[in-house]
Structure 1
Amino acid sequence: MDDDAVFRALADASRRLLLDRLHQRNGQTLVQLCEGLAMTRQAVAKHLAQLEHANLVSTRRQGREKLHFLNPVPINEIAERWIGKFERPHLAALSDLKQELERPDEGEPTG
């Protein structure tokens, strides 16, 4: 696995958005992935090519269409390597504390 390619691919917000969209509905065409985005079809195609290079997206031809599928394995491998070496219970406790502190109090007066 090329960690650098994965990190480069994940560094861009547009590529993360495409991964999120594939997570929501896997097996989309380029046209489907472009729907509702403020990007040209060519820009989306370039982002998908980088995601494919990083092995985060795989494709399959179905007739005249090219379907795109999320491959979560490289992300999991990074999580195992970079996050797994830290103590997960401690990180989970800190995350829970952060969420609790950021949650607005329900009994707090407004205004």
Structure 2
Amino acid sequence: MENKAVAVDWKNIFKMFATYEGTIKSFCKENNISLHQFYYHRKAAKKREISVFHAINFKEEATPSSSCSTENIKIEIGKAKIHIPSNDKVVLSNILAMIMESC
């Protein structure tokens, strides 16, 4: 009999574990998952989600030549997710001001 590898949806596994009330060991046993694989894939997932921070100079005027990136700035607070073009300093400044007021 052949031993075929089955693709595991680790993102879904970790989502299920987030609401699980037992231990990692019992979760893995109930879901027929190797404890070693659980830890390995959880560590790999955390490495992929590392945030990168870049300084933004608010003193400069936003011009096409001064904006070095067209990527979005992502702000996540709880379930709120805000995506702002990195060259839109006015919107970013206003959002940061509103966040600071609510803290």
TM-score strictly above 0.5: no
Per chain length, whose mean CA-contact separation is higher, i.e. which structure has more relative contact order (CA < 8 Å, sep 6+)? 1
Q: Give the structure-1-normalised TM-score.
A: 0.30
Q: Which has the higher helix share?
A: 1
